[in-house]
Structure 1
Amino acid sequence: MECEADMAQGTAQRAVRSCPECGEPVPVDERYTDWCAACDWNVDPGAPDPAPGRIAAVRRRIGRAYGEQLAAEMEQGSAAARPAGRDAATLLAFGVSLLVHGVTVLLVAAGILLIVLGWSTGVQPALGALLLGLAWLLRPRRPRLPKDAPVLYRADAPRLFELIDEVAGAVGTSGVHAVVVTAEANAAVTAYGLRARRMLLLGLGLWEILPPQERIALLGHELGHFTNGDTRRGVVTDGAVRALATWFSVLAPTPPTGLLDHFVNAVTFLPRWTAFGLLVVLDHLTLRASQRAEYLADASAVRAGSAQAAAGLLDRILLAPAVHDRLRRESVAAQMQGGAGGRAARDRAEDGLWERLAAHFGEVPEHEYERLRRVSARRAHSVDSTHPPTHLRRRCAAAPGSAGSAGPADSAPGLVRYGDSRAKAVAAELAPARAVLARRVIRDLAG
């Protein structure tokens, strides 16, 4: 019976129908969208991406304007050869950032003066405390290690850190001090704390669905950010961007219910749009360099993992929304079980969660990946509003002669290999974090 079911499933997956638009054969698989590769019929049946906020919309427009130009430069190698952080736009962005932080310093000074000189009035100290609180929100700062996620250090996972060090050496940088493991389909690097120690955020939702060599490409991409001089990641410029976004939010108009609301909205109109204008200026000055850094990080992924692995990684990134939906369905299904039997079902769901996730997304056919790539190009999909369009990144990663690529995707081997013994050792070190996050996904994500 099991063999018959498998045969029936295989037959269903190999079924075809005629395209209603052009008559070409269309593969039919009930798990995925039917679409025509010849004429793009039904290639994008879903709703478009939700409208972003005003700031994200501006960044997306700027990013798309730079996208094709930067992609062409990366394929020719000219953008990669240009030194990072030394152009006029970077220096001007640094100057604007210092101006923004200067306003924060003035708030601190004004707050202290109001408290010290107006202590007897009662009102001025309260206003001074308000200014100091606002300055605290606007201060430039580095992230901290999260308290609600597993954190691994070198002593906890020596083989994982050995792998990270090898990939870092391949892309021309050094390793990290801590690895924060999350359940998201994402990964990132940043510096944390006053000593600016390096941190890698490793999302199991992405890591677990990647084939071995694509995991190397992922590490190569993230660690490549430490090499490529992304000015937007610096504490000064990043702090200014965050401060301006905070100003824009704090000064947001309130629905007018009386004369006082109209007066406050009128008073805050000019400062609010001044903050927005400066934020747009900073975006214009830094987004090109930020997108260039993403392309160079992709080149690092090619160097470490291979061109084929880097292109495959970018395909997997297109699955990120589906990964979140799959984890949520797992959680909902487990939570629907009640009583003692429900607890046992939740335990079983936790035990095999990441294996089921990997198996599910390991079955995605090439036909579906091609559809996602075409949808990505139509919508100019990007990881977020500061990233280049994903389809352009993939094109550059796989392009012969592009930065970091020695030739076509199949002819550019990576410098780091991820064999079975190393993979098993790393998996063993990640096992405690996998268990903690599986429990959290099953018990909390449905809520």
Structure 2
Amino acid sequence: MTATSIVESCPNCGTTLAVLGEAAPWCTACEWNLDAYTPPQKWPWYWRAMTRLDHRHGFRADLRLTTEGTGSSRAGFVFLCAVSAILVAVPLAALIGGLYLIIWHRHNLDILLGALLLPVAYALRPRLGRVRRYLRGRYRLDPETTPALHELIGQVAAATGAPRPDILIIDPYSWTASVTVLGIRGRRILTLGVPLLASLRIEEIVALLGHELGHIANKDSRRSLLARPARVTFGHLSSILRPPTANWLDQGMHGFEALLYELLRLINGTLSWLLFGLHLGINVVGSGHDRAAEQRADVLAAQAGGTAAALSLLDALAGLPLYHSLVSGASEAGVALHEWRTDIAGCRDRHTDQIVLRRQLSIREDASLFASHPTTGRRHQFLAARPPQDAAVTVTEAQTRSVLREIAPYAERLRADLAEEYEM
């Protein structure tokens, strides 16, 4: 069955239904049957049921966000901040209490209790991330070595009202872009993936930068930092308490030792599952806030690059699976980025209709309460319904060549790694 196979007409509006691959047909006009998600049959029945439920509610949540806006996410953010404040206070109190009992102890029991409180404070400490660890496998770009790219980022920052990122990183292997805040100093880090940049036209790169810097302008990364203790602590504790998979027979135990071992496995497993369930619930709330933040950033993407470029960017993102095979080690050394961009541009032109269907099908396939982004299709609908905007940042041909020239060395590193991997 081809990507645009005709099967029948919509029972609601009479529009001819479309099919993409093995997906169930849906109406492109009124979205009839677009919420009909069917998990793979090879999955266990309980996992299929849970996934189907998650997709159904994720579909509705994305629809509400598209039609009602971002206001509903504020209550969830306040809840996350409250939980985070408690989680920061607990290890701080444990640290102070432990040191107090050890230093000003009256009995030996005080020393023991203080010594037990210190590991609790360490296990529950806020985790702000480390810049050095984040940089592994990536490259930090300085203004001296990549002036054109930094100049473009400065233009987009000025257009969106965002401060410039403190650190610019390029990832040769990533098909994504992101902004994050790490460390005690709260360093703002913008990360750009080479394959993603190779897939986009220059005006779409401007819209992409507008979206990512929009997170900084909207202080989304700072908000994420405030909510991070709530979103990671319970998951971390769950992993600490996760019992070993080996049972008493595998460990060669017998008698009371085996009984005690299995009892501890049962207790730890129960606590681990409870904490993981709490972790999932909190992250459902957090993901709702994340999706609203993505929608606000899309507004600034349109402001920087123009509505047409922002919508075109979303179409490019919907078509990413079509481009993966085109970024390969078969390209000629020294011109990898140029060849990839040329091949991907041709692929986009040939598969315009399929990309539109992929974008709309994402409304079904990618809907989830755990998703950090609204589906690409809903994001496109949201921007398309807003008054169109002209681009605040335009890029000359000379500037485009300079930006691509600065990205090219990192594309060559990816090409060399791919060529070695596939022995080309």
Q: Distance in 1 between matches of 2:406 and 2:282?
A: 42
1:263 Cα shift?
Answer: 1.0
1:274 Cα shift?
Answer: 4.0
1:154 Cα shift?
Answer: 1.9
> Do the aligned partners of 2:204 and 2:309 also contact (CA within 8 Å) in 1?
yes
> Do the aligned partners of 1:70 and 1:292 also contact (CA within 8 Å) in 2?
yes
CA 1:99–1:137: 2 relative to 1, 3 Å? closer
1:181 Cα shift?
Answer: 0.8
Q: Give the secondary structure class of the aligned counterpart of 1:148.
A: coil
Q: Which residue of 1 aligns with 2:85?
A: 98
CA 1:73–1:269: 2 relative to 1, 3 Å? same
Q: Which residue of 2 aligns with 1:294?
A: 294
Match of 1:201 among 191, 209, 212: 191
Q: Which residue of 2 aligns with 1:439?
A: 416
TM-score for the superposition, normalised by structure 2: 0.75
> Do the aligned partners of 1:110 and 1:128 also contact (CA within 8 Å) in 2?
no
Q: Is structure 2 residue 420 aligned with structure 1 residue 425? A: no
Unpaired segments ≥5 residues, structure 2: 10-14, 25-37, 249-258
The amino acid across from 2:76 in the alignment is: A
Q: Is structure 2 residue 150 aligned with structure 1 residue 161? A: yes
Please give the per-residue CA displacement for 1:252-276, whole angstroms capped at 9, x wherever unaligned.
3444623344312332245324423
1:115 Cα shift?
Answer: 9.3
1:434 Cα shift?
Answer: 3.0
**Structure 2 counterparts to residues 123-272 of structure 1, below 5 A:** 131=119, 135=122, 139-145=126-132, 146-182=135-171, 183-230=173-220, 233-255=223-245, 257-258=247-248, 259-272=259-272
Please give the per-residue CA displacement for 1:28-79, whole angstroms capped at 9, x wherever unaligned.
xxxxxxxxx943245446996898x99x9698676444211110023xxxx4
The amino acid across from 2:119 in the alignment is: L
Q: Distance in 1 between matches of 2:203 and 2:322?
A: 22
**Structure 2 counterparts to residues 27-176 of structure 1, below 5 A:** 38-44=16-22, 63-74=58-69, 79=70, 87-105=74-92, 131=119, 135=122, 139-145=126-132, 146-176=135-165
TM-score for the superposition, normalised by structure 1: 0.71
Match of 2:338 among 355, 360, 369: 355
1:354 Cα shift?
Answer: 2.3
Q: Distance in 1 between matches of 2:118 and 2:325?
A: 42
> Do the aligned partners of 1:142 and 1:196 also contact (CA within 8 Å) in 2?
no
Unpaired segments ≥5 residues, structure 1: 1-15, 24-36, 335-347
CA 1:20–1:214: 2 relative to 1, 3 Å? closer
Please give the per-residue CA displacement for 1:406-447, whole angstroms capped at 9, x wherever unaligned.
23xxxx321111221111121222233333333234335889
Q: Which residue of 1 aligns with 2:391?
A: 414
Q: Distance in 1 between matches of 2:422 and 2:55?
A: 29
1:200 Cα shift?
Answer: 0.9
Q: Which moved further from structure 2: 105-114 or 143-152? A: 105-114
CA 1:108–1:284: 2 relative to 1, 3 Å? same
The amino acid across from 1:90 in the alignment is: F
Q: Distance in 1 between matches of 2:318 and 2:370?
A: 12
> Do the aligned partners of 2:3 and 2:21 also contact (CA within 8 Å) in 1?
no
Please give the per-residue CA displacement for 1:207-245, whole angstroms capped at 9, x wherever unaligned.
111111111100000000012243785323123312222
Q: Which moved further from structure 2: 251-260 or 238-247? A: 251-260
Q: Which residue of 1 aligns with 2:366?
A: 380
> Do the aligned partners of 2:326 and 2:343 also contact (CA within 8 Å) in 1?
no
> Do the aligned partners of 1:256 and 1:262 also contact (CA within 8 Å) in 2?
no
The amino acid across from 2:412 in the alignment is: A
Q: Give the secondary structure class of the aligned counterpart of 2:393.
A: coil
1:392 Cα shift?
Answer: 0.4
Q: Distance in 2 between matches of 1:156 and 1:60?
A: 45
> Do the aligned partners of 1:71 and 1:393 also contact (CA within 8 Å) in 2?
yes
> Do the aligned partners of 2:194 and 2:407 also contact (CA within 8 Å) in 1?
no
Please give the per-residue CA displacement for 1:282-328, whole angstroms capped at 9, x wherever unaligned.
3354333221110011111111111111111111112334444444x
Q: Which moved further from structure 2: 424-433 or 390-399? A: 424-433
Q: Distance in 2 between matches of 1:317 and 1:98?
A: 37
Q: Which residue of 1 aligns with 2:251?
A: none
1:185 Cα shift?
Answer: 1.0
> Do the aligned partners of 1:231 and 1:290 also contact (CA within 8 Å) in 2?
no
CA 1:376–1:414: 2 relative to 1, 3 Å? same
Q: Distance in 1 between matches of 2:56 and 2:137?
A: 35
Please give the per-residue CA displacement for 1:85-142, whole angstroms capped at 9, x wherever unaligned.
9x4433332111122334444665688799999xx9xxx89x969937x936853213
CA 1:357–1:278: 2 relative to 1, 3 Å? same
> Do the aligned partners of 1:351 and 1:435 also contact (CA within 8 Å) in 2?
yes
Q: Distance in 2 between matches of 1:180 and 1:154?
A: 12
Q: Give the secondary structure class of the aligned counterpart of 1:374.
A: helix
Q: Which moved further from structure 2: 168-177 or 93-102? A: 93-102
Q: Distance in 1 between matches of 2:204 and 2:68?
A: 25
**Structure 2 counterparts to residues 279-358 of structure 1, below 5 A:** 279-327=279-327, 330-331=328-329, 349-358=332-341
Q: Give the secondary structure class of the aligned counterpart of 1:202.
A: strand
Q: Distance in 1 between matches of 2:287 and 2:219?
A: 13
The amino acid across from 1:417 in the alignment is: T
**Matched positions, count:** 378
> Do the aligned partners of 1:167 and 1:216 also contact (CA within 8 Å) in 2?
yes
CA 1:149–1:287: 2 relative to 1, 3 Å? closer
Q: Give the secondary structure class of the aligned counterpart of 1:225.
A: helix
Q: CA RMSD in A?
A: 4.1
